[in-house]
Chain A
Amino acid sequence: MYDVVIIGAGVSGSAIARELSRYRGKFCVLEKEEDVCCGTSKANSGIVHAGYDARPGSLMAKLNVEGNRRMKALSEELDFPFRQTGSYVVCMDKESRPKLEELFERGQKNGVEDLQILSYEEAVREEGNLSKDMDSVLYAPTAGIVCPFGLNIALAENAHTNGVEFRFDTEVLEIARQERGFVIKTSNGDYETRYVVNAAGVYADVFHNMVSADKIHITPRKGEYLLLDKSAAGQVSHTIFSLPGKYGKGILITPTAHGNLLAGPTATDIPDKEGTNTTAEGLASIFEKAGISVQSLSLRNVITSFAGLRAHEDGHEFIIKELEDAPGFIDCAGIESPGLTSAPAIGVMVAGMLQEKLNLVDNPGFEPRRKGILNPALLTMEERNRLIKGQPAYGNIICRCEMISEGEILDAIHRPLGAKSLDGVKRRTRAGMGRCQSGFCSPRVMEILHRELGIPMEELTKSGANSRMITGGRKEAAR
């Protein structure tokens, strides 16, 4: 019998697991994919929002601002890439100025610090490529950029190190209430638990509706993005938003935590909860809209495009509460933007609720710090040589675009909740995320995974399940 089972190892589920690991108890995270960070958490803007967007008084507003405030300390504690670069909301014409002022006021009410409205002249001093046609900008110095994988993986690893179990390739099929708590039937056995946390992203409505008569409805809202090579990154140094339209925040242009340039997202409501395909129309619309706020923006050197699904709940509000008609079942649903920013606060909030309900006591062994995968590029030549002398694998570059060594890949494979697939290695180390998009390193990473984990080459996957990389082995005689 578990004390708490969390459904979903995305950023919300992992943040809750991490905060919960401060307490003693039997906790488990169930994830249908082969790794953490495989759904909404892996395909988004990677923005740490300041918090002027959400409606004052809403949970979304509260958790956004609180998540933003917690992010820096958390990034130091858990060693993931985060930079407080600031954001600009660009107002293109005088007529829209009241909308910008409204955002400013909303930000003030939400408790966003240091917000300013700047004229073009003031703004262009800091951001040289802003469109000359613009009227004014809302500058939010507290906004930033985070590596979404880095954040999610760090939270999960730390939770795991502090005793939380993770079950991958485990899809929840049924949740039934029993005398004390619930029994969760999965593709991988049954789990009995006193409390359930539903952090299932676009599937949160499915699980909610299994136990509650008070139905909710979550729409997958597709966002498509273009990711540009690092050589394009110098074009902007802040996150540049356009004033929001009917769907989300319009097209944003932002540097990423790793020095690429990102343009997107689109916003299209779709019925398919797995519909992470990009579309010709979507990609075309990014090209069309991206250059509005940034003049002569070059979108050459696109290295990849991708789509993610936001878990949009009809009321456009985070639903984080214990269900009245299903005590013991806590929803963490409708976590769409600013969900990534809010994750640290969501973790604290839900863990706090559980602590109270279950009377959890402190975990004396809780280790708040986690060391990420070493970035040898930050070392001096002497330090690097010492490293290579001790571990020669750090002298062997595998991904030549991102200059990732075998040492980093070995670390990614063998650390807690290590990588088992090419995407797993990619999200942890960036090997394969560069300008050649894994053309050069994928055969080499496959060899390393095969060697280290003893997985036959024919069974190696891109991202678990049936995503096998090859279909045939070394000639018939080898069999």
Chain B
Amino acid sequence: MRQYDIVIIGAGPAGLAAAVAAFDDGARRILILERDREPGGILNQCIHNGFGLHTFKEELTGPEYADRFIKQVRERGIECRLNTMVMDIGVDSGRDANATREPSARPMKYVTAMSRADGMYQVAARTVILAMGCRERPRGALNIPGYRPAGIYSAGTAQRLVNMQGYLPGRRVVILGSGDIGLIMARRMTLEGAKVLVVAELMPYSGGLKRNIVQCLDDYGISLKLSHTVVDISGKERVESVTLAQVDENRRPIAGTEETYECDTLLLSVGLLPENELSAGLGVELSPVTSGPIVNESLETNVGGVFACGNVLHVHDLVDFVSEEAALAGKNAAAYVKRMEAAEGDAKEAEIEIEIKPLSGVRYTVPSHVRLARMQPEQVVRFRVGDVYKNCFIRAYLNGRQIASKKRPVMAPGEMEQLKLKKEQLLECVEPGTSSYCLEIRVEEK
């Protein structure tokens, strides 16, 4: 069985950036496993522009952004196996990844993979970086009544058909959900000659970026109906019409507000779910809010040596932040390997632990806890809010002391927020003798 220091599951933006960062921090035996026939992940079908403003200070399309990282991975000679599906990841707690040390402190991971060329096989890994991305929520998750004809697509599936395969999945289109993929596909289908009749959004606000509403809907005169949902789908073979209705504050359809649109296609852009079946099989603890792993400051899960980054951890709206987050996971995996090689203990370092508690408007945070000894001088905490807030503050408190404050003119659930914590400030708040703390992050009006 081949042994690796770091096995990365997925060669999308997260996996690629993690690999590059791990390599640059000294890790060498790195393997990336990718199920698709080319690296790049979902970026390959995101042919629109708007990527890379933070990372490269220029506006790139998805494939161009991916190409930059693919080149970096190739330049470093990092092994990347394509067309390879990871079937399972297991931990052998009886066998130590560092054979000289006491068993189970840093257990070896076993990754079972399969491809046409190599059949089914296992590799051993000292660390694993989970970078599998996310999938789209299907119609069933929303319990939309009606028939089940052809012509109902999730927006990402339609995007693949149009952008990768060159087919138009419909000519008269209704879109449910104003997430970014839905907005992008409204424009894309319009450019390719389809008529997008309307975009309906269940919530009273859009789930997508503002710039996408301007560029994808306003530019093409496509109306966005907030607080609306699909209440019926007609057509036994192909979609014939879709009925929308307004919803009340409890998101229940209001009788009498129904409007029927004759169309042949319904695109759904109703949310993304981190794809964590492999993680769950490995025993990784998942957050009920994000459906992603619960991680510490190093983006390490409860299973030692297993890290997570990108959309498998929590759904992002900007790939730049995915790259940034993934680089951190890559660095930390490299550091883990180094510590193992130095036969360094873990126990003492983890003395002071700070739990980050999301409160009043903050839905979750990544990371959810911080080991002070392992914290970088500056720690980025990413999160989403549960509602639309205007002219509010994001503040962090530790031991009753405010340690960070940031004014935000507008916050919405569709846009990820971040707050930076300074290690020195945290150190000032801790007292001798106490090893566990709770740091509160909240939205405040004043």
Q: Residues of A with Cβ closer than 8 Å to B?
A: 226-227, 231, 274, 276-280, 282-283, 301-306, 381, 384-385, 388-389, 392-393, 395-397, 400, 403, 435-440, 442-443, 447, 457-458, 461-463, 465-475, 478
Q: Which of A282, A439, A467 contacts B156 (CB 8 A)?
A: A439
The 6 closest A-B pairs by CB, nearest first: A472-B168, A304-B140, A437-B138, A462-B150, A474-B166, A467-B150
- Please tell me if the beta carbons of B139 and A304 are within 8 angstroms of each other in the complex: yes
A52 to chain B, nearest CB (A): 33
Residues of A within 8 A of B165 (CB): 443, 447, 457
Given A280-B231, A303-B141, A400-B85: A443 and B161 interface contact (C-beta under 8 Å)? yes
Could you show 9 A-B contacts with beta carbons less than 8 Å apart?
Answer: A384-B114, A388-B120, A397-B114, A437-B139, A438-B157, A443-B161, A447-B165, A462-B149, A469-B150
- Please tell me if the beta carbons of A403 and B87 are within 8 angstroms of each other in the complex: yes
Residues of A within 8 A of B149 (CB): 462, 467
Q: Which of A280, A301, A385 contacts B120 (CB 8 A)?
A: A385
Interface size class of B (residues with CB under 8 A): 35 or more
- Please tell me if the beta carbons of A280 and B161 are within 8 angstroms of each other in the complex: no
Residues of A within 8 A of B237 (CB): 461-463, 465-467
In the complex, what distance in Å separates the CA atom of A231 from the CA atom of B276? 12
State whether the Cβ of B2 lies closer than 8 Å to any Cβ in chain A: no
Q: Which of A277, A301, A438 contacts B146 (CB 8 A)?
A: A277
In the complex, what distance in Å separates the CA atom of A461 from the CA atom of B154? 17
Residue of B nearest to A287 (CB): B143
Residues of A within 8 A of B171 (CB): 471-472
In the complex, what distance in Å separates the CA atom of A32 from the CA atom of B24? 63
B421 to chain A, nearest CB (A): 33
Q: Residues of B with Cβ closer than 8 Å to A?
A: 35, 83, 85, 87, 112, 114-122, 135-136, 138-141, 143, 145-151, 153-154, 156-157, 160-161, 164-171, 192-193, 231-234, 236-238, 253, 264-265, 280
Residues of A within 8 A of B150 (CB): 461-463, 467-469
Q: Which of B114, B157, B233, B264 contacts A471 (CB 8 A)?
A: B264
Residues of B within 8 A of A278 (CB): 145-146
- Please tell me if the beta carbons of B141 and A302 are within 8 angstroms of each other in the complex: yes
Q: Is the interface of A mostly helix, strand, loop or mixed?
A: mixed
Residue of B nearest to A380 (CB): B120
Which of B87, B234, B264 counts the most chain A CB atoms within 10 A?
B87
A445 to chain B, nearest CB (A): 11
A222 to chain B, nearest CB (A): 12
In the complex, what distance in Å separates the CA atom of A301 from the CA atom of B237? 27
Known: A276-B148, A277-B233, A472-B192; 15 extra A-B contacts, CB below 8 A, are: A277-B147, A280-B231, A381-B122, A389-B119, A395-B117, A436-B154, A437-B138, A439-B135, A439-B154, A458-B167, A466-B238, A467-B237, A473-B166, A473-B168, A475-B166
In the complex, what distance in Å separates the CA atom of A461 from the CA atom of B236? 13
Residues of A within 8 A of B253 (CB): 280
Residues of B within 8 A of A227 (CB): 140
Residues of A within 8 A of B166 (CB): 473-475, 478
A440 to chain B, nearest CB (A): 7
A191 to chain B, nearest CB (A): 25
Residues of A within 8 A of B119 (CB): 384-385, 388-389, 395
In the complex, what distance in Å separates the CA atom of A11 from the CA atom of B350? 62
In the complex, what distance in Å separates the CA atom of A277 from the CA atom of B117? 44
Residues of A within 8 A of B115 (CB): 395-396
Residues of B within 8 A of A282 (CB): 145
Residues of A within 8 A of B161 (CB): 443, 470
Q: Which of B87, B112, B135, B265 contacts A440 (CB 8 A)?
A: B135
Which of B83, B147, B171, B192 counts the most chain A CB atoms within 10 A?
B147
- Please tell me if the beta carbons of B157 and A442 are within 8 angstroms of each other in the complex: yes
Residues of B within 8 A of A462 (CB): 149-150, 237
In the complex, what distance in Å separates the CA atom of A468 from the CA atom of B153? 13
B1 to chain A, nearest CB (A): 12
- Please tell me if the beta carbons of A472 and B193 are within 8 angstroms of each other in the complex: yes
In the complex, what distance in Å separates the CA atom of A315 from the CA atom of B135? 48
Residues of B within 8 A of A274 (CB): 236
